[in-house]
């Protein structure tokens, strides 16, 4: 057993993916008999959605420490986080719509029932639906949008309570850590769930599903590359008015660590060091913006949530309205905020977005096996985004040593 755990999780998942595909191709439609193992894995993921969002969002908002910090530095950072997050999720939606990675997959062998009707709620009903009339009922129904609103309000309330809110803050910070540990436990089930689900997919849906999966991986990398080059590059050049080459060379160490670990939290010390030593960002700005960004700035994840939702809708024939697109954009950004900075957390956030627009959770069966491959690139995008916002905010507030940034060309 100890030898099993000495193998990195992502290697176990890739091996399970390969074995699952081989098993499914050899076994054929009868591979559906082991799908129950994958269903159990998905059930555990659904179990984590509410507590993980609640504790992570409350702790993330409250970790700002003081509402007054949302001054010259804070509001600029938050604005850039929100704007880039929206750009990222709409980019994912655009890639999914234009390239159609899930179009053409024959799901006739799967008994999914009738596709759900498109969401025809008016904007007034959607606004009212965001207000949690009963937080307990919202949690019981896994109604994620009002849950997010309630979580944000609780976090702000803790900030406003100041010293009297510190005991509550410690509870939520502890709860966030505990839920990350629980998530890590559930992630250990991933190889078994992936094996069963991929055997089912390969045996029931055949080669077309595997080709669609490969297209999804390609679009994930393409979307992240566009964010790195256009969104972050444009921010550094046009807003911060700094050298793009100097920025990317200065952050290369953090990019390497983030890609190999697929964890924003694990990369945080390296990102801070790169921002201060290589990019010339002051300690005050770097520590605030990058630490906050590691919690709430997940542009790679936001892009992927939009792309994966379109993928699932196309695979299972779910007709999405423009209101659904808007809901995906909103929840993709907020879901990325609630995603823990650990490997596999984006997989859990899928359940949040999918459920809101009636995309079947069986979509996770397609992506779980290669999620680690995509997660590595998404995490790199997230980490570079934290540094880009830090450099931009520091440039706008005069908290940057330009000579340090320029010298990064020699790294």
Per residue in 347-358, pLDDT tens?
A: 667 777 887 788
Separation CA 355–CA 45 (nearest Å): 12
Q: What is the pLDDT of residue 339?
A: 57
Per residue in 40-74, pLDDT tens?
A: 877 787 787 778 778 877 876 676 566 665 556 66
Per residue in 87-98, pLDDT tens?
A: 999 999 999 899
Written as six digits, the tokens of 43 are 């059930």
- Mean pLDDT for 226-235 is 94
Structural domain of 331: 28-104+115-410
Report pTM: 0.69
Separation CA 68–CA 99 (nearest Å): 45
- Any bridge partners for residue 72, and if so which? none
Of 41-55, 147-161, 203-217, the range with the highest mean pLDDT is 147-161
Separation CA 120–CA 132 (nearest Å): 20
First and final C-alpha spacing in the chain? 43
Is 109 within the bounds of a domain?
no
Separation CA 94–CA 313 (nearest Å): 14
Residue that wins the pLDDT comparison between 202 and 226: 226
Provide the pLDDT confidence category of residue 301 given band limits of 50, 70 and 90: confident
185 neighbors 360 (Cβ within 8 angstroms): no
Residues in CB range of 387: below 8 A, 6 or more apart? 247, 251, 254, 271, 274, 275, 279, 290
Residue 119 scores a pLDDT above 60 = no
Is 3 within the bounds of a domain?
no
Residues in CB range of 244: below 8 A, 6 or more apart? 233, 236, 237
138 neighbors 132 (Cβ within 8 angstroms): yes
Cα torsion angle, 78, 82, 88, 91, sign: negative
Written as six digits, the tokens of 200 are 């089912």
Is 82 within the bounds of a domain?
yes
Q: What is the pLDDT of residue 409?
A: 46
Separation CA 399–CA 394 (nearest Å): 4
Instruction: Give the percent of the chain with pLDDT over 90.
Output: 10
Is 119 within the bounds of a domain?
yes
303 neighbors 225 (Cβ within 8 angstroms): no
Instruction: Give the percent of the chain with pLDDT over 70.
Output: 79
331 neighbors 338 (Cβ within 8 angstroms): no
Separation CA 85–CA 342 (nearest Å): 19
Residue 334 scores a pLDDT above 90 = no
Is 12 within the bounds of a domain?
no
Residue 135 scores a pLDDT above 80 = yes
Separation CA 123–CA 235 (nearest Å): 32
Is 4 within the bounds of a domain?
no
Separation CA 135–CA 61 (nearest Å): 18
- Mean pLDDT for 380-394 is 90
Provide the pLDDT confidence category of residue 82 given band limits of 50, 70 and 90: confident
Of 57-61, 203-207, 223-227, 302-306, the range with the highest mean pLDDT is 223-227
Q: What is the pLDDT of residue 348?
A: 67
The alpha-helical segments, DSSP class H, found in 227-321 are 233-234, 244-250, 252-261, 264-273, 283-296, 299-316
DSSP character at residue 165: G
115 neighbors 317 (Cβ within 8 angstroms): yes
Residue 405 scores a pLDDT above 70 = no
Is 400 within the bounds of a domain?
yes
324 neighbors 119 (Cβ within 8 angstroms): yes
Provide the pLDDT confidence category of residue 369 given band limits of 50, 70 and 90: low
Separation CA 347–CA 220 (nearest Å): 14
Per residue in 238-292, pLDDT tens?
A: 998 888 888 998 888 888 878 866 777 667 778 888 888 888 888 767 777 777 7
297 neighbors 49 (Cβ within 8 angstroms): no
Total structural domains within the chain: 1
Provide the pLDDT confidence category of residue 159 given band limits of 50, 70 and 90: confident
Q: What is the pLDDT of residue 236?
A: 92
Q: Helix (H, G, I), strand (E, B), or coil: what is residue 281?
A: strand
- Mean pLDDT for 367-381 is 80
Separation CA 360–CA 42 (nearest Å): 11
Provide the pLDDT confidence category of residue 145 given band limits of 50, 70 and 90: low
Residue 214 scores a pLDDT above 60 = yes
Residue 35 scores a pLDDT above 60 = yes
The alpha-helical segments, DSSP class H, found in 63-134 are 74-99, 123-129
Is 10 within the bounds of a domain?
no
What's the CATH code of the domain at 72? 1.10.3860.10
Q: Helix (H, G, I), strand (E, B), or coil: what is residue 205?
A: coil
Residue 310 scores a pLDDT above 70 = yes
Q: Count CB-CB contacts under 10 A for residue 114.
A: 6
């Amino acid at each position: 057993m100890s030898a099993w755990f000495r193998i990195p999780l992502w290697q176990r998942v890739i091996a399970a993916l390969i074995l699952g595909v081989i098993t499914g191709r050899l076994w054929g439609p009868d591979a559906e008999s082991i799908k129950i193992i994958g269903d159990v894995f998905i059930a555990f993921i659904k179990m984590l959605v509410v507590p993980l969002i609640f504790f992570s969002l409350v702790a993330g908002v409250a970790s700002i420490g003081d509402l007054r910090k949302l001054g010259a530095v804070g509001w600029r950072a938050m604005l850039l986080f929100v704007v880039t997050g929206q750009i990222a999720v709409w980019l994912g939606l655009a890639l999914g719509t234009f390239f159609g990675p899930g179009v053409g997959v024959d799901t006739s062998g799967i008994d999914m029932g009738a596709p759900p009707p498109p969401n025809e709620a008016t904007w007034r009903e959607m606004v009212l639906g965001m207000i949690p009339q009963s937080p307990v009922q919202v949690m019981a129904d896994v109604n994620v949008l009002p849950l997010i609103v309630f979580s944000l309000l609780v976090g702000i309330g803790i900030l406003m309570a100041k010293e009297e809110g510190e005991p509550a803050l410690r509870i939520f910070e502890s709860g966030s850590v505990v839920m990350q540990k629980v998530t890590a436990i559930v992630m250990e089930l991933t190889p078994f769930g992936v094996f069963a689900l991929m055997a089912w997919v390969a045996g029931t849906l055949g080669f077309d599903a595997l080709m669609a999966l490969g297209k999804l991986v390609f679009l994930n990398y393409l979307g992240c590359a566009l964010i790195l080059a256009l969104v972050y590059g444009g921010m550094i050049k046009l807003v911060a008015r700094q050298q793009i080459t100097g920025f990317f060379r200065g952050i290369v160490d953090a990019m390497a660590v983030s890609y190999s670990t697929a964890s924003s939290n694990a990369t945080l010390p390296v990102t801070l060091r790169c921002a201060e030593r290589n990019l010339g960002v002051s300690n005050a700005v770097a520590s605030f913006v990058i630490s906050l960004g590691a919690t709430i700035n997940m542009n790679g994840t936001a892009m992927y949530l939009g792309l994966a939702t379109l993928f699932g809708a196309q695979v299972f024939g779910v007709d999405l309205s423009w209101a659904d697109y808007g809901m995906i954009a909103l929840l993709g950004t907020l879901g990325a905020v609630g995603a823990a900075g650990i490997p596999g957390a984006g997989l859990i956030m899928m359940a949040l977005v999918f459920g809101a627009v009636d995309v079947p959770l069986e979509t996770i069966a397609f992506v779980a096996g290669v999620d680690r491959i995509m997660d590595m690139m998404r995490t790199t995008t997230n980490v570079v985004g934290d540094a880009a916002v830090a450099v931009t905010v520091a440039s706008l507030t005069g908290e940057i040593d330009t000579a340090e940034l320029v010298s990064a060309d020699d790294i």
